[in-house]
Structures are given as structure tokens and as C-alpha cells.
């Protein structure tokens, strides 16, 4: 996030809007200090219901969406870390993403990174009927969580995970409320990925795609 703040300051273009949307049922308590520490001046949203992920068919964070002046999506993707990160031996992120964003901001539709509507449509994750039901199931869990009914919250979050096993958001959000088991749960699920990537490759030049 501090990286995005410096990118935002550096681009310094009135026609560029950066929206950072925390997909976080933990709300201000979980995310506020992170936003504060990064001293963000761009638009900061705490999206407790994961509304953005629901609308744009996203299953993981961080995810990036580029929207042009006409409201057309020109890139929609997964795993958009602003820089390379390391967590033990697990490497993730790429240094190729920020230069691509800069290229788009300066060249607009002429940027080589801009996709056609067909390419965007191909890259939108399709939802099965079960995956579609997972969305209201997750929100029902959020409703019960807000009511303080953790048993029912868990029941519906588990249902959402069953209905959409590919949603890291639904799994990791749920695990975040039992932090002691979260890492183990995550590691176990990562092991079941097989050939599937944790983040879809960005397809950017210079990107190290071997980050799983």
C-alpha cells in the first residue's frame, strides 16, 4: 500500500483515480491502521461485504481493474502487487505491474497493455450456478457475523466455500476470525492447487510467472 501511495503521488494526474478497496469484513478495526500507516490520499474504501469482488467476479486479493474514461474495463486481472514481495520462500508480486499502469495512464487506448472488450470478457472469471449461489451465501454469513451470531456466520461461510472452492476471499476471510489456524488452513489449501496458479499470470513482459 505504501508503494501505491508513492505511485499515485508520482503519477499526479487529475484524470487518474485510484480506488483502494479493502475486501474485509473485519472493517475499520482490521484495515484502518493499514490505511493510516500508508497515509493514503487516494480513495480508500472498506468494503465489508466484498461488493467489488462480487460485481467484478474476483476470487482473490489483491486484484486490479482498469477502467477507461467511458466506463469500459480495459484490463481485469489477479495478483496485482505493486512490487515483488517475499514471505519465507514464497515469492509473489511483480515489478512489471506498476510500469504497465504508468504506460496506460500516459498512452490511454494506445497502451500495449490495454485489452479489447473480447479479451476482457475472456479474462472475466465465469461463475457456475453454484459459484453464483456462493455470493449470497457469503453475504448471509456477513449478516450473521454482524448480528454476533458466529455459529450461523460460520455455517454460511462454510457453505459459500463449498459452493465456490476457488474463492480464496471466502476462505481467507472466514479463517481471519480464527487466526491461529489461518496459516495452516491456507497452506493446506495451497497444496491442493496442483497446476492451478494461486494468482493468474498477468501476462506482462518481464513478469516472473513462477511465483506459486
Residue 25 CA to residue 2 CA, distance in Å, equals 22
Among 5, 113, 145, 159, binds other proteins (CB under 8 A): 159
Cβ proximity to other proteins: between 61 and 211 the closer is 61
> Is 3 a binder of other proteins (CB under 8 A)?
no
| Residues 117-136 interacting with other proteins (rule: CB under 8 A) | 117, 120-121, 124, 129, 132-133, 135-136
Provide, rounded to whole angstroms, the least separation between the CB of residue 107 and other proteins.
11
Contact 160, 137 (CB under 8 A): yes
Classify residue 206 as exposed, middle or buried by CB count within 10 Å of its CB (0-12, 13-18, 19+).
Answer: exposed
Which grid cell sits at 168? Answer: 480464496
The helix or strand, by DSSP H or E, that contains position 46, with its residue range, turns out to be strand 43-47
Stretch 183-212 residues interacting with other proteins (CB under 8 A): none
- State the DSSP string of 110-154: GSTTPPPHHHHHHHSPP--HHHHHHHHHHHHHHHHHHTT-HHHHH
Binding mask 85-124 for other proteins (x = CB under 8 A): ----------------x--xx--x--------x--xx--x
Residue 206 Cβ vs other proteins, minimum distance, rounded to whole Å? 20
Binder among 113, 137, 157, 202 for other proteins (CB under 8 A): 137
CA-based end-to-end distance of the chain: 22
Residues 78, 87 contacting (CB under 8 angstroms)? no
Q: Using CA atoms, how far apart are residues 196 and 86, in angstroms rounded to an integer?
A: 20
| Minimum separation from the CB atom of position 51 to other proteins (A) | 5
Residue 139 in contact with other proteins, rule: CB under 8 A: yes
CA 166, 170, 171, 173 torsion-angle sign: positive
Given 65, 83, 96, 204, the residue binding other proteins (CB under 8 A)? 65
In the complex, least distance from residue 169 CB atom to other proteins, rounded to whole angstroms: 8
**Looking only at residues 15 through 34 of this chain, which bind other proteins when binding is defined by CB under 8 A?**
15-24, 26, 28, 30-32, 34
Residue 153 binds to other proteins (criterion: CB under 8 A): no
Kindly state the smallest distance separating residue 208's Cβ from other proteins, in Å. Answer: 20
Contact window for other proteins (CB under 8 A) among 68-76, 85-93, 193-201, 202-210: 68-76
Classified as helix, coil or strand, 47 is strand
Amino acid at each position: 500500500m505504501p508503494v501505491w501511495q508513492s505511485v499515485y503521488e508520482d503519477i499526479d494526474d487529475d484524470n487518474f483515480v485510484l480506488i483502494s478497496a479493502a475486501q474485509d469484513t473485519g472493517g475499520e478495526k482490521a484495515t484502518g491502521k493499514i490505511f493510516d500507516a500508508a497515509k493514503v490520499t487516494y480513495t480508500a474504501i472498506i468494503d465489508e461485504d466484498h461488493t467489488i469482488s462480487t460485481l467484478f467476479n474476483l476470487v482473490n486479493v489483491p486484484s486490479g481493474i482498469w477502467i477507461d474514461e467511458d466506463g469500459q474495463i480495459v484490463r481485469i486481472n489477479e495478483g496485482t502487487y505493486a512490487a515483488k514481495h517475499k514471505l519465507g520462500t514464497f515469492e509473489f508480486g511483480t515489478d512489471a505491474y506498476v510500469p504497465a499502469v504508468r504506460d496506460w495512464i500516459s498512452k490511454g487506448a494506445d497502451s500495449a497493455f490495454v485489452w479489447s472488450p473480447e479479451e476482457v470478457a475472456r479474462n472475466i472469471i465465469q461463475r457456475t450456478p453454484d459459484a453464483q449461489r456462493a455470493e449470497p451465501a457469503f453475504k448471509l454469513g456477513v449478516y450473521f457475523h454482524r448480528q454476533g451470531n458466529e455459529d450461523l456466520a460460520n455455517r454460511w461461510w462454510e457453505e459459500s466455500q463449498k459452493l465456490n472452492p476457488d474463492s480464496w476471499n471466502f476462505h481467507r476471510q472466514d479463517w481471519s476470525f480464527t487466526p491461529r489456524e489461518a496459516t495452516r488452513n491456507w497452506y493446506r489449501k495451497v497444496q491442493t492447487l496442483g497446476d492451478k496458479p494461486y494468482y493468474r499470470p498477468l501476462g506482462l513482459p518481464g513478469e516472473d510467472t513462477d511465483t506459486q
